[in-house]
Amino acid sequence: LAIRLADYQPYTHLVDQVSLTFRLAPTATRVKARLDLRPNPARGGGGHDLRLDGEGLRLLALAVDGRALAARSDATGLTISAADLPDGPFVLETEVEIAPEGNTALEGLYMSNGMYCTQCEAEGFRKITFYPDRPDVMARFRVRVEGDLPVLLSNGNPVAQGPGWAEWDDPWPKPAYLFALVAGNLRAHSAPFRTKSGRDVALNIWVRPGDEGRCAYAMDSLIRSMLWDEQVYGREYDLDVFNIVAVDDFNMGAMENKGLNIFNSKFVLASPETATDDDFARIEAIIAHEYFHNWTGNRITCRDWFQLCLKEGLTVYRDQQFSGDMRSHAVKRIEDVLMLRARQFREDQGPLAHAVRPESYVEINNFYTATIYEKGAEVIGMLRRLVGDDAYARALDLYFDRHDGEAATIEDWLAVFEETTGRDLAQFKRWYTEAGTPRLRMTDDFKDGSYTLHFEQENPATPGQPVKGAKVLPIAVGLLGPNGDEVVPTTVLEMTEPRQSFRFDGLPARPLASVLRGFSAPVVLIRDLRPEDRAFLLAHDTDPFNKWEAGRALAKDLLARMVVTGAQPGPDWLDALERVTLDDSLDPAFRALCLRLPSDDDMAQTLHASGHVPDPAAIYAARRRMGAALAQRLAAGLPGLIASLAEPGPFTPDARAAGRRALRLAALALLSRVDGGAAARAAFAGADNMTEEVGALSCLLDIGEGQAELARFEARWRADRNVMDKWFALQIAYAAPERAADVTRALTAHPDFDWKNPNRFRSVIGALAGNHAGFHHGEGASYALVADWLLRLDPLNPQTAARMSTAFETWPRYDADRQGMVRAVLERILATEGLSRDMREMAGRMLGEP
């Protein structure tokens, strides 16, 4: 059943033109398709059967060059034998019927709140019509939409419209996964844009009536993204319109369909009253991400789904650069690394570990992972660090030049770097083909003015990959002198061997090395450092990432000792953190990040990696004690700090204001630990924006208070789906370990728990999986609850259910009892009749099936 990279073959035919006509109806939509086909010379010309993908389609008519043919369709498609096909070009016509209203999988053409929309990546187009649904088949699409809804959209440029119909033409050949159609009663928030070379583009964000007032930030982000891609990558937009549609029922974040991006509404709609600063930042990043796909994904697409990281890794890398330019590179890098460790390291160190470019899959939807996306972006960051900024820019120019209009591979991508730099990237390529997080051990010595760093890399076994070679590691290093001055500025050491040493001569005194600056390679750095040295780096490092990392390591070392030996927080950490918190010369956003304690899951990962069996309850208790000690220590200074960070004037979502709010709320959370919640209660009552409202409410929930505020929040926001998601999630995220399952169960009985809506499902079931101590509490009540809901969702929406099953991916970390309980749950899932292919693959892999 598995699909293998090694089996790739070009498609038998080429598609020169696609013409589609949709007659929309909720239970019986008609789709007529006319495909202009010809034999593919790359497959030796004619003589091949024509195989088209198609699932859940009722075939009504089929003709070749106008001659009706008897249909031979099966569960996954349609075959027309070579004998029924002419030798040269021909026209294939089909008509099918589909039922978008009953489409609960939210893949293909479906309905959300009375509106029609599509999601075709990766393989949803086959649920719309018979077609070679693979990314290397690129064709021009012309689409006619008929339906009694006011707005009828598809890809490309509008060419004609009348009452009840509209026609669209997309001049750029594209794979079917980029097809989109939307029809609904929608309102546009519009703006004009002129590209650098003078093309006028109409920008529209389409939303439900009433939501027009929440589009301004997304539009502003779009315009900034378009300008940025022109300035930084020299990439211009290439159609007369760019449409974005917000949809409430959506399996993921957003989708880059050509000229018609479709978004989960929570990543478009924002106003100060309804969106937090984090929401604003995410909207900016995702709008940019989807827009940037127009070049890295659409103009240059992927040959097959094994190459997914070609577009996703690069587009994530580009959106990270963009957010850094818009906000703060230091803060953005820290946030990205926090995310990488929380999601990608977790994946890479468990049973679901897979290469950035995997070699086989059963269900491709299961591979839209942190490894493909985030590690894929890290690999590009390393490549750039190795070749330098200029070579990176030249390689990208060559990539766009050479592969525009093509479906490319990772080999193509690496070749443009090899050719522009003369480097051999054969060893570097292991980053794409080998899974797992390298562990990098470091020691040092100093003698006669020479300082030497010794590194040793270990590349642990992952499923199906027992042995692997040394990786190329760019290790950015700077050296600090005893007074805290930088004696050697950042230098990139290039490690290629399993063991390697690097020497620095002519030093008057033993320096302190700042290693892996900017997190220059996605590895676990293992280095014995005294707490006072970490505190020294926190105080003096010139690299903002490593400055933060030093504080982080100090906290994690301490927390690990508190968990394992019951130690209490000592002065090293408390002093250091107090200094940072009150240092007005530091960016408030940076200080807020320093105040964020390591998460329970992060500590479990760290403890496991260092040979311990993590005890979720002990980690939870230690982190609570750590927070309490910090609150005690800082108590006297907190009210003053909070007051000094007040933002006069109306809310603005910019990074500076957001950073000040983040620090204020971090301080408020600590203050709540000592004032019984008085300040947070006042902040909640006086909040005029969602950041403060949710922030203050979180402070209260964190200390076991806030029931009245929760009720007020619900009364105020009952009608707003996106805001209510927060209400559901917060209660579960902050529930005490022994109450988490009960709180979740109670919320699943709430009349607004619409479990078929992926956002709401994630806000409730996902929140329980994310409450580490609550998820792993006691006799497995949370395991069972999560599994029950996954099994309930799976028949309706396998994609979201399978994605959320990753809640269980960390089971091998824990004690034998918990391992046994999770195994039993996964076996129960696997034994379920009618289980989706998606879920079967995930549960099987988590149980270690090959």
Residues 6+ apart with CB under 8 A from 723: 274, 690, 717
Residues 6+ apart with CB under 8 A from 831: none
211 binds ligand ARG (CB under 6 A): no
Q: What distance lies between CA 102 and its chain's CA centroid?
A: 28
Give the residue from 156, 165, 167, 227 showing the smallest Cα distance to 191: 227
Choose the contact partner of 122 out of Zn ion, ligand ARG, none; CB within 5 to 8 A by kind. Answer: ligand ARG
Give the residue from 66, 91, 90, 61 showing the smallest Cα distance to 78: 61
Subset of 81-140 contacting ligand ARG (CB under 6 A):
121-122
Rounded to a whole number of angstroms, the minimum distance from the CB of residue 256 to ligand ARG is 5
Distance CA 288, CA 306 (A): 24
725 binds ligand ARG (CB under 6 A): no
Distance CA 311, CA 326 (A): 22
406 annotated active-site: no
372 binds ligand ARG (CB under 6 A): no
Q: Which residues of 824-837 are buried (b: 16+ CB within 10 A; e: fewer)?
A: ebbeebbebeebbe
The position carrying tokens 């004696």 is 487
Applying CB under 6 A, the site for ligand ARG has a residue count of: 11
Rounded to a whole number of angstroms, the minimum distance from the CB of residue 123 to ligand ARG is 8
255 binds ligand ARG (CB under 6 A): yes
Subset of 287-316 contacting ligand ARG (CB under 6 A):
289-290, 312
Give me the residue whose beta carbon is nearest to ligand ARG. 368
Strand-strand pairing, 301-302 and 407-408? parallel
Distance CA 58, CA 519 (A): 53
The position carrying tokens 């600590």 is 670
Alpha helices for 703-810 (secondary structure H): 707-717, 721-733, 740-748, 758-761, 767-770, 772-775, 781-793, 798-804
The token pair that represents 72 in the structure block: 């031979």
Residues 6+ apart with CB under 8 A from 61: 68, 93, 94, 95
Q: Which is nearer to ligand ARG, 261 or 744 (CB)?
A: 261
Q: Which is nearer to ligand ARG, 298 or 409 (CB)?
A: 298
Binding mask 314-333 for Zn ion (x = CB under 5 A): -x------------------
For residue 484, how many other CB atoms are within 10 A of its CB? 13
Residue 44 backbone zone (phi > 0: left; psi -120 to 50: alpha; other: beta): left
Choose the contact partner of 796 out of Zn ion, ligand ARG, none; CB within 5 to 8 A by kind. Answer: none
Q: Which stretch binds ligand ARG (CB under 6 A): 28-36, 253-261, 326-334, 831-839?
A: 253-261
Q: Are 813 and 614 in contact (CB under 8 A)?
A: yes
In this structure, the chain runs to a length of: 850
Q: Which stretch binds Zn ion (CB under 5 A): 1-9, 304-312, 459-467, 829-837?
A: 304-312
The torsion of the CA quartet 276, 280, 282, 284, rounded to 10 degrees, works out to: 180
Q: Which is nearer to ligand ARG, 128 or 538 (CB)?
A: 128
The dihedral sign for the CA sequence 749, 755, 757, 760: positive
Choose the contact partner of 713 out of Zn ion, ligand ARG, none; CB within 5 to 8 A by kind. Answer: none
The position carrying tokens 């010809």 is 38
Q: Which stretch binds Zn ion (CB under 5 A): 45-53, 311-319, 594-602, 761-769?
A: 311-319
256 binds ligand ARG (CB under 6 A): yes
722 binds ligand ARG (CB under 6 A): no
166 binds ligand ARG (CB under 6 A): no
The DSSP letter of residue 259 is: T
Residue of 95, 256, 290, 312 with catalytic role: 290
435 binds ligand ARG (CB under 6 A): no
Q: Which is nearer to Zn ion, 174 or 681 (CB)?
A: 174
Rounded to a whole number of angstroms, the minimum distance from the CB of residue 253 to Zn ion is 8
Q: Which is nearer to Zn ion, 53 or 312 (CB)?
A: 312
368 binds ligand ARG (CB under 6 A): yes
Q: Which is nearer to Zn ion, 293 or 840 (CB)?
A: 293
The secondary structure element, H or E, covering residue 141 is strand 139-146
Distance CA 75, CA 127 (A): 11
Give the residue from 390, 444, 438 showing the smallest Cα distance to 417: 390
Choose the contact partner of 167 out of ligand ARG, Zn ion, none; CB within 5 to 8 A by kind. Answer: none
Q: Which stretch binds ligand ARG (CB under 6 A): 74-82, 247-255, 514-522, 631-639?
A: 247-255
252 binds ligand ARG (CB under 6 A): yes
Q: Which is nearer to ligand ARG, 256 or 279 (CB)?
A: 256
**Near ligand ARG by CB under 6 A: residue from 94, 243, 365, 369:** 365
361 binds ligand ARG (CB under 6 A): no
3-state secondary structure of 776: coil
- SS3 string, 646-683, reads CCCCCCCCCHHHHHHHHHHHHHHHHHHHHHCCHHHHHH
Choose the contact partner of 655 out of ligand ARG, Zn ion, none; CB within 5 to 8 A by kind. Answer: none
Q: Which is nearer to Zn ion, 312 or 702 (CB)?
A: 312
Rounded to a whole number of angstroms, the minimum distance from the CB of residue 122 to ligand ARG is 5
Rounded to a whole number of angstroms, the minimum distance from the CB of residue 254 to ligand ARG is 6
Q: Which stretch binds ligand ARG (CB under 6 A): 225-233, 249-257, 570-578, 834-842?
A: 249-257
Binding mask 723-742 for Zn ion (x = CB under 5 A): --------------------
Distance CA 300, CA 298 (A): 5
Q: Catalog residues that contact ligand ARG under the rule CB under 6 A.
A: 121-122, 252, 254-256, 289-290, 312, 365, 368
Residues that bind Zn ion (CB under 5 A): 312, 315
- The residues assigned a catalytic role are 290
